[in-house]
Amino acid sequence: MTDAGTPAPLSFYEEIGGHDTFVRLVDAFYRGVAGDEVLKPMYPEDDLRPAAERLTLFLEQYWGGPSTYSERRGHPRLRMRHASFHVNPDARDRWLRHMRAAVDELDLPPLHEATLWDYLQRAAFAMVNTFEPTGIGPTRPPEATSLLAHPETTKES
Ligand code: HEM
C-alpha cells in the first residue's frame, strides 16, 4: 500500500508471475543454447547452470524484482561483459531464436509477451560487437577478458 492507502502498482516482474516465470524462461532458453553449435562453445563453463542463474538474476532485477544480481555481480555493464565473446549477427539470431522459443513456452498475455520480447530483441541487437563471421575471433585481445575478472564482478567465485 502507498501512503495514500492505494495499492502500489505491481512491477512487471510480479505481473508476469515473479521468480517462477523467470526461472522457466531462462531454463527453456538454456535448453536451446545447450544444443547450439555456435553458442554453446562460447560459454566458459561446461555447466550452463551458473550462467543460467546469472541471466535469471539479471532479468529479474531489470523488470523490478529483487536486486540480487547487482549485489552479487556489481553494475551489469552488459556490453562490456560480452566484449570477449564473438557476438555477430548469427550469434544474435541464434540467441533470439532460443529466447523466442522460451518466451512462447511461457504463454503470457499478448501485451506482456510483446513488452518482454521487444526488450529482449533490442538488448540482443545492442550486444552485437562484430560483423566477422563465426570462427574468426575473439573480437578483443585476451587482456580484455580481465575486465570480467574485476573483483567487483567476481564476488561469487
Ligand atoms: C546477442 C547474443 C548474446 C550472446 C551470444 C551472449 C553470450 C553470453 C555468454 C557467452 C556469456 C557468458 C556466460 C556466463 O558465464 O555468464 C553471457 C553472459 C551474460 N549475458 Fe549474454 N549473450 C547475448 C545476449 C545477451 C542479452 C540480450 C542479455 C540481456 C538481456 C544478456 C545477458 C547476459 C548476462 C546477464 C550475463 C552474465 C553477466 C555476468 O554477470 O557475468 N546476454 N552472455
Q: What is the pLDDT of residue 151?
A: 40
Range of the domain at 128: 12-153
Question: Do the domain assignments include residue 129?
Answer: yes
Q: Enter the pTM of the model.
A: 0.87
Please name the residue whose Cα sits nearest to atom 14 of ligand 1. Answer: 51
Question: Do the domain assignments include residue 6?
Answer: no
Question: Do the domain assignments include residue 60?
Answer: yes
Query: Domain containing 95 — which CATH number?
Result: 1.10.490.10
Cα of 7 to ligand 1 centre, how many Å?
35
- For the chain, the domain total comes to 1
What is the position in ligand 1's atom list of the atom closest to the CA of 148?
A: 41
Task: Using most ligand atoms within 8 A of CB, pick from 48, 82, 129, 139 the residue to mutate for ligand 1.
Answer: 82
pLDDT at 19 over 90: yes
Q: How many CB atoms sit inside 10 A of residue 121's CB?
A: 14
Q: What is the pLDDT of residue 41?
A: 96
CA 94/CA 128 separation, integer angstroms: 12
What pLDDT, in 10s, does the model give residues 99-149? 999 999 999 999 999 999 999 999 999 999 999 998 655 444 444 444 444
